[in-house]
Amino acid sequence: MGGWAARKDGDLAYRLLEDVGADAVRAIEAEAERLQSWLGETKVTPRFATPLAKELVVG
């Protein structure tokens, strides 16, 4: 389990809240890169950000 957020500069940040294993971490990293590439210049701003997302946006 975990969460992700898009920072103001467009970078994606994520945090895993439990150990999911090395294979899952690699898959998550690859998917985060794919999502960031797909989003491009699009800014993602949730209407109601979770506490974790707020933390990730700040860095």
In this predicted structure, the answer to whether residue 56 has a pLDDT above a threshold of 90 is yes
Burial of 5 (0-12, 13-18, 19+ CB in 10 A): buried
* pLDDT of 41: 86
* pLDDT of 8: 84
In this predicted structure, the answer to whether residue 59 has a pLDDT above a threshold of 80 is no
* pLDDT of 53: 92
Q: Encode pLDDT of 2-52 as tens digits.
A: 999 988 888 899 999 999 999 999 999 999 999 999 988 888 888 888 899
